[in-house]
Amino acid sequence: MTIASINPSTGELIKEFDELSADQIETKLAAASGAFASFRTTSFSARANWLERTAELLESSSRQLGELITLEMGKPIKASIAEVMKCATVCRYYAEHGERLLEDEEVVTSASRSFIRYEPLGVVLAVMPWNFPFWQVFRFAAPTLMAGNVALLKHASNVPQCALAIEDVFRNSFPSDVFQTLLIGPRAVANLLADRRIKAATLTGSEAAGRSVAENAGKGLKKVVLELGGSDPFIVMPTANLEVAVDTAIKARTVNSGQSCIAAKRFIILEEIADEFLSSFVSGMRALRMGDPMDEANQIGPLATPQILEDVDRQVRDSVEAGAKMLTGGRVIAGPGNYYEPTVLSDIPRDAPAWSEEIFGPVASVFRVKSIDEAIELANASDFGLGASVWTNDETEQRRFIDELESGQVFVNAMVASDPRMPFGGVKNSGYGRELGVAGIRELVNTKTVWIGNGPKNDRSE
C-alpha cells in the first residue's frame, strides 16, 4: 500500500510513500525497545531539558510546520501555526511539572515506610488522527516521554509528511529512537499490539478504530487510552449573554472547518430565545469566509479528504430527507478541493443522522427545548460523552449542568477546549482514559506500591 499526501484544497498529489515492510517495522521496534533500556534510567531533569529543546524547535519553525499542516489536511494557516505553538506549551508544561507529578508519594501506613512510585512501562504505540496532526501527537508524546516511556507513532495515512516532520523534531531534541514514526496502514496495528515489546497503546480517532484497537490490545492484555468521537451539546439558556454565546457557537462549530472531536455539534436552545439565537447564528454562519486555507483571511478550509466530504454530504441529505429543515448551506462546492458550505439544520427528527451521528464538517444541528430538564435530557440522549458547553448566568442552572451532564468535561460560559493543565477525555462511546494534566502523565505508567515492613531484625546482624 502507498501512503499519499494529497492537498485537500486542490486534490493535487504532493508526495507518495511506501508503507514499511515487516522487516522495516521490526528494525524500528527493536530500536525502540533498545532505546528504552537506557532512556528509562535518565533523570527527570534531562528529560525536561529535551522537552524544552523540543518546544524551542517547534517555536522556531512554527510557520514552516504550520504550512505543512495546511498543505496536507487543509486547516486555515493561522490555526495551523497556533497548533504548533500549542504543542510547545504542552512540552513546557510537562518539562516544568512532570517531575513533581511523578515523584514518589509517601503514604502513612503501619509500614516503617510506604510510598507510591510511578515508573515507565516501555514502548507505547500511538495511533493518531489527521485533524490536529501535531497537537494530538504532542499531547500524548510530551507526558509519555517525560515519564520515561518511548514512543512509536502510527499517524493517519493522509498526513505522512506531518508524521515524518514530528519524528524529525524529536530526533533533534531527544536521544535516538526514543520517538519514531511508522508509515503503516491500519492493518499493521494488530500485529504490533500482539508484540510483547509494545507495553501500551493510545488511540485518538473514530469509534470503529477504537473498538478495533481496544479488541487487539485486550487480546494482548495491554492498557489502552481511547479518545474517540463526540457530538457535544452547546446549551443556551435565557440568562446567557446571547451575543457572546452566538459568536462562540459559530466558532465552536466551525473550528478546524468543523472537524474537531470537541466542536459543538448539537445546539440546544431554550424556546424563548431560539428565534433571536437562530437569526444571528444563521447569518454568522453564512458570513464565514471559505477558501484557500493558505490565505490568512479565510476562516473555513476544505475538508481533509474526499471521503469526509462525501460522508458529510450524505448525512445532511439523509437528515433533510428524514424531515430536517435546512436553514442555510447544504452544498458541496464544485471542485477542485473538498469544500462544503457552512450549514445549519433545525427541526431534526430522531431518525435523522443529524440527531444521533457525529457530523465531521461545518454542519450545526439546532434543537429547541422548553425547559432545563428537557435540555439536559436531550444533551444526555447521545451515545457520546466528550464535552459540553453551557451558557447561563443562573448559578442553580450552572450547578445542575455540572452535576447532571454525562460528559468528560463541562465548560460554563466558555467553549470546550483542551488545556495542558486540565485532564481531557470522554465517557460513553467517546472513550476512556485521560490525556493532559496530572491524569494524563499517570495513565501510561506502572503505579508501583512500595512497602517497607518493620519486621524483626536479623539477630546475627546485631
Contact positions toward ligand NAP, by CB under 6 A?
127-131, 136, 154-157, 185-186, 189, 204-206, 209, 212-213, 227-230, 261, 358, 360, 386, 426, 430-431
- Which CB atom, from 209 or from 324, has the smaller least distance to ligand NAP? 209
**Helix/strand/coil for 449:** strand
**Helix/strand/coil for 389:** strand
From the candidates 261, 341, 358, 443, which is the catalytic residue?
A: 261
- Which CB atom, from 58 or from 183, has the smaller least distance to ligand NAP? 183
Least gap, CB of 211 to ligand NAP (angstroms): 8
- Which CB atom, from 357 or from 397, has the smaller least distance to ligand NAP? 357
Residue nearest to ligand NAP (CB): 205
What per-residue string of b and e applies to 16-25 under the rule 16 or more CB within 10 Å gives b?
ebebbeeeeb
How do strand 409-412 and strand 264-270 relate by DSSP bridges?
Answer: unpaired
What single DSSP character describes residue 183? -
List C-alpha distances in Å: 270 to 5, 80, 84, 364. Answer: 44, 35, 38, 16
Least gap, CB of 224 to ligand NAP (angstroms): 11
Nearest C-alpha neighbor of 63 from the set 42, 38, 40, 80: 80
Least gap, CB of 261 to ligand NAP (angstroms): 3
Beta strands, E only, 370-426: 384-385, 387-391, 409-412
- Which CB atom, from 139 or from 368, has the smaller least distance to ligand NAP? 139
202, 124 contact by CB (below 8 A):
yes
Least gap, CB of 159 to ligand NAP (angstroms): 8
Whether 261 is catalytic is: yes
175, 35 contact by CB (below 8 A):
yes
Rounded CA separation 239/321 (Å) = 35
SS3 content of the chain, % helix, strand, coil (to 5): 45, 20, 35
DSSP string, 54-103: HHHHHHHTHHHHHHHHHHHH---HHHHHHHHHHHHHHHHHHHHHHHHHHS
Nearest C-alpha neighbor of 396 from the set 417, 373, 414: 373
From the candidates 72, 83, 167, 227, which is the catalytic residue?
A: 227
- Which CB atom, from 39 or from 93, has the smaller least distance to ligand NAP? 93
Least gap, CB of 352 to ligand NAP (angstroms): 19
Least gap, CB of 350 to ligand NAP (angstroms): 21
- Which CB atom, from 74 or from 230, has the smaller least distance to ligand NAP? 230
**Residues taking part in catalysis:** 227, 261
